[in-house]
A = this chain, B = another copy of it.
Amino acid sequence: MSTAPFKPTLADIEAAADRIAGHIVATPLFENDALNALTGARILLKAEVLQHTGSFKFRGAYNRVSQFTPEQKKAGIVAWSSGNHALAVSAVAAKLGVQATILMPSDAPRAKVEGARALGGNVRLYDRKTESREAIGAEIAGRTGAVIVPPYDDPYVITGQGTVGLEMVRQARAQGLELDAVLGNCSGGGLISGIASAVKALSPATAVYAVEPAEFDDTARSLAAGERLKNPAGRESICDALQVAIPGEITFPIMQQTLAGGLAVTDDEVRDAIRFGYKALKLVLEPGGAAALAAVLSGKLDVAGKTVGVVLSGGNVDPENFAAWIAA
């Protein structure tokens, strides 16, 4: 792969798919009568919550770490993550026999912090509001020689996540369907830039949208403005996985070239989507994993009569929160 600006080709994403095949769950793309009836569309759900460690992040992490040289494997990994990347890197590191130091915000869900520790990750907590995870990570990498595995701004991570889009188009076609649109959750943009690269290469007519929390709609605003814009400080959302400060350096140019736009959902709409996921889909969705579904359920896009792919990207959520959100 060449250096900046990185634009993933179909061949890059197919190479990632070959690399991770047999190690990932080839997650299903399925329909639900109740959801189709509610939306008047054919909604094809990509159940990436069934991926190992409960989110799509395992794909990118495996694609990156499996490329380590023997020296890099010995040096170990340093990574930072709001949670799902931490779980994925911890699991991949354990699988490939590599040590991993993971920086996680001190207010991350217990399910994520304890999960990463249980998988063998050496978790170090930091204060999301006063410390820079990038700075701490760079310091550790510089001191120990550990290799940084970024959560999104990395070609291997992006193409790994892009395999979700590759599978979606192929699974839809295996059912005789073409996707009019694809909606994916977006924080730094690793998932949606990868997905959009694959989808647009295979199916140029498909419109791909990034879905964000209304309080963290940096991607939607940046796409509209044509430049990377920050989120104002002090914002809050239940979507712990979607709280990046600004779109990625590598991911943003890709998103500019491939996305139809950004959609934003409120926390209430996300809670409704989680409740729908529980009641009708029988899937455990975390807030950040339910945003794209929330966009469809709350009518953020006119989907009537269309065939629309929706990525359910993660399901790591503390039981007391999930219990509160599914209560009728």
Contacts and interface: CB of A to CB of B under 8 A. Distances in A.
A282 B30 contact: no
Contact of A33 (B34, B52, B278): B52
Interface string A26-57: 11101111100000000000010110111000
Interface in A297-316: 315
A279 interface: yes
A77 B326 CA distance: 33
Contact of A111 (B25, B31, B279): B279
Interface residues of A, number: 34
A91 interface: yes
A95 B36 CA distance: 13
A246 interface: no
Contacts of A320: 327
A239 interface: no
A50 B52 contact: no
Given A25-B32, A31-B25, A281 B50 contact: yes
A53 B34 CA distance: 8
Mostly helix, strand, loop or mixed at chain A's interface? helix
A284 interface: yes
Contacts of A111: 279
Copies of this chain: 2
A50 B282 contact: yes
A2 B319 CA distance: 50
Contact of A278 (B27, B91, B95, B284): B284
A126 interface: no
A91 B280 CA distance: 13
Contacts of A283: 50, 282-284
Contact of A25 (B30, B95, B279, B327): B30
B323 A319 contact: yes
A68 interface: no
B52 A30 contact: no
Given A278-B319, A283-B283, A32 B52 contact: yes
8 contacts: A26-B30, A49-B282, A54-B280, A278-B319, A283-B283, A284-B284, A319-B323, A319-B327
- Which 10 pairs from chain A and chain B are nearest by CB? A323-B323, A282-B315, A28-B28, A49-B282, A282-B284, A319-B326, A33-B52, A54-B282, A25-B30, A319-B327
